[in-house]
Structure 1
Amino acid sequence: MTPAPARRLAALDGLRLVAALFVSLYHFTGYRPGVLDAWGESREAAFPELHLLGQYGWLGVELFFMISGFVICMSSWGRTPGAFFRSRVTRLFPAYWAAILITTVVVTIWPVVRGHLRYSDILLNFSMMQQGLGARSVDAVYWTLWSEGLFYLLFSFAIWRGLTLKRAIVFGYGWLIAATLAEQSGVPLLKTFLQPNYAPFFVAGIALYLIYRFGSDVLLWGLLGLSYVLAVYWTDSSVRHFNGRFDVDMRPVVGAALVTGFFVVLTVIALGYTSRIQWGWLTTAGALTYPFYLLHENVGWTVIYGLRDFAPPLVILAAVIAIMLVAAYLLHRLIEKPLARVLKVKLEQASAGLGRQDRFARPSSAPVSSKIPAPAAPVSSKIQTPAAASKIPEPREAPEDTLVLPRVRD
């Protein structure tokens, strides 16, 4: 199959923003504890109708994971593991570090919705590894970055081998099967690493990118179909879990319908039906998604708490979302982009330096000899006739020791 020409998918950028707004709708209108703390009243009282949709907004994370599978597979093609690592660091950490500082300052100055964290937890957050150690996050939404990181770690093995259509397909099927086995294994480490409940969404994104790049194929549609079946199963399980945990009444069929909609929309994009959509503002929207997502929960709740008595809830909701979008834009332009450029240069310099040290630090395989070879023809001590003496060869000088430099390998 012939690969499709590479182009930026503006519709995918727009879909990212939709996912982020859906998650914020959940936190601001549908998440029972958060709504009560921020608005000072129940979600049913604050948003009698809107909370019925907002309570499903957590599924925006699953949509994020599908988009991530698509984008990571697309951006990793032809890259080395080192280049992949550098791209992920420069993409994730600049905005993340800034969001930690901003959220910490806001919550410290105005701890009305969320309390202080221990300094050790805040410092640990900068490593993005707090979830693995069971420590608290500065903002609860950071848990998704841990899941993203585990996906990157798994996918890096495919990148290390060199991405091809065959290897990407094997990776997708292999991950789904291994994740299903991990769920029944009773081994917590396997379940953490293989993420049975999120693997179908990441793999669906991978399958859809392969369809976009290489065209339709029965193995790819089979991979997408298997991902869909597992995604619906885990969505049903999550809906029932949240109903019990937060005393809400979500309907599993609605969750399944929303996930089905995600698959349909991304399939339409993968098949090229949205290729004519090239609106520039969608690219900007896609760039704002990540900083908006990082900032919106604790900072957004704090802003809601401060403004909630000045206007009706729907007006305050629209105002807070607008404020968080402006904050995301400022973070992106003033901090994320400049810091990402500096970090990229530093990482590339460090990588080049390590490469040079690795090449020149190898020991020589040809040690220098300290012995001086003897003359090839020793001088005779006997008195010889002039005729005979004329036949005696002149002794050759001993050659100097030669330093043999090893060949430098790439």
Structure 2
Amino acid sequence: MPLPKQVPVAVAERPLQPLRTRRLYVVDGIRLVAALMVVLHHYAGTRRLNEPGNAIWSRPVSEIMPSVFHVAAYGWIGVEIFFVISGFVICMSCWGRTPRQFFVSRVIRLYPAYWFAVLFTTAVLVAVPGVWERLPVREVLLNLTMLQAGSDVPNVDMVYWTLWSELRFYLLFLVVVAMGLTYRRVIVFCCVWGAVAMLAPVSGFPLLELLANPDGAWYFIAGLALYLMHRFGQDLLLWGILAMAWLMGQLELGERVEYEGVSSWRGAVLIFTAFMLVMVAVSLGRLDGIRWKWLVTAGCLTYPLYLTHYMAGTSLISRLHGTMDARLLLGLLIAGFLMLSWAVHRVVERPVARVLKRGLDTSFARVRGRQVP
């Protein structure tokens, strides 16, 4: 009986083409849940809102609606959940793509809603002054680049700090995309990035710490490992990376708990662990049976909702909190921003993304020397 032929290493390392898999509806739902967690936290669960005489509710939120406050106090964990999902989704969507396709996909995904959010928030801060300081016009214009953090310019809305973490992740992952995504290369990337993120804070090199992004690295790495588990199946190495990401992540959660000052480490770790277990179930195909169509729409609302809700929403609360019950105001405001997010997705994101994609494809065709109309 002839022995099976050994697969050459070159073939094993060849980048695989994108899989024709079913849409992971659960991931869309988790994204919206994470966004709503952050929204609720910003409206009713921050340390600032629980101070007497605060500029938004005027009284401590724990006195106005104590039950809501105790739940909302943990909503900041939605950001860490976003980072894990980002690692998962970016790896999934970039498999088999070129660096050009990766760049175009990120531009058309990030910028249309972001441009709207910068202008919308600025307009609300002009119309409703007294709660947040409005930036000078030159700084608002620089915010439209999404690169303001690199120029040490404040964000129009403070929630934009997470975009700076995302951009650094994209920059690092672009290296692997340029080489061609394979199981081995993504594993090596996870291990190298994790090691650098661990050493960067004690290295004394600010540039290394900036690139390594130690505050968010292990959440993105967890997402990458989860996608490899989804695509190739589980193995001990992936479980090891995931366990390391959880262990490093719980340390970061502890630091965030100290910063937020309104929640406990045990509660934060419990919520984050529950989310990670759900993502493991997604990766192993245990939740493939959930195919509710409305979850696709829910996922589309997430990004515009996150970008627009905070400073504009709290400014509105400062003007309206005395006109109705606090819980009713909270519900109406969240519903209103969800409707705004749907409108932004339909009227801004989709048409602007199409125009940007055509323009960028034409530009890159010219760069490659191809004839364009």
Same fold at TM > 0.5: yes
**Which of 125, 148, 154 lines up with 2:143 in the alignment?**
125
In structure 1, the residue matched to 2:295 is 282
User: What CA deviation, in whole Å up to 9, does each residue of 1:72-94 have, x standing for no partner?
Assistant: 00000001111100100000000
State yes or no: 1:345 paired with 2:358.
yes
In structure 2, the residue matched to 1:17 is 32
Matching residue's letter, 1:316: L
**Which of 127, 151, 166 lines up with 1:148 in the alignment?**
166
Q: Is the 8 A contact 1:32 1:42 kept in 2?
A: no
Matching residue's letter, 1:144: T
Map 1:6-405 → 2, pairs under 5 A = 6-34=21-49, 36-243=54-261, 248=262, 250-356=263-369
Q: Is the 8 A contact 1:108 1:115 kept in 2?
A: no
User: What CA deviation, in whole Å up to 9, does each residue of 1:159-210 have, x standing for no partner?
Assistant: 0111000001111111111100112112222112111121111000000011
Give the Cα separation in 1 of the matches to 2:260 and 2:57: 21
- DSSP-derived class of the 2:307 partner: helix
Q: Structure 1: which 4+ aligned runs deviate by more than 3 Å? A: 1-5
- The Cα of 1:13 is off from its aligned counterpart by 0.2
User: What CA deviation, in whole Å up to 9, does each residue of 1:55-101 have, x standing for no partner?
Assistant: 12111000000000000000000011111001000000000001111
Give the Cα separation in 2 of the matches to 1:285 and 1:216: 29
- The Cα of 1:292 is off from its aligned counterpart by 0.5
Q: Which runs of 5+ in 1 are unaligned?
A: 359-410
Q: Is the 8 A contact 1:11 1:277 kept in 2?
A: yes
Tell me the C-alpha RMSD between the 2 structures.
1.7
- The Cα of 1:306 is off from its aligned counterpart by 2.9
Give the Cα separation in 1 of the matches to 2:48 and 2:264: 20
- The Cα of 1:34 is off from its aligned counterpart by 4.8
**Normalised by the size of structure 2, how large is the TM-score?**
0.91
Q: Is the 8 A contact 1:90 1:344 kept in 2?
A: yes
Matching residue's letter, 1:317: L
Q: Please say which of residues 254-263 and 204-213 is displaced more in the overlay.
A: 254-263
User: What CA deviation, in whole Å up to 9, does each residue of 1:250-298 have, x standing for no partner?
Assistant: 2211111111112111111111111111111100000010000000001
Matching residue's letter, 2:42: H
Tell me the matched-pair count: 353
In structure 2, the residue matched to 1:364 is none
- DSSP-derived class of the 1:39 partner: coil
Q: Which runs of 5+ in 2 are unaligned?
A: 1-11
Give the Cα separation in 2 of the matches to 1:34 and 1:48: 12
Kindly name which structure, 1 or 2, has the bigger radius of gyration based on alpha carbons: 1
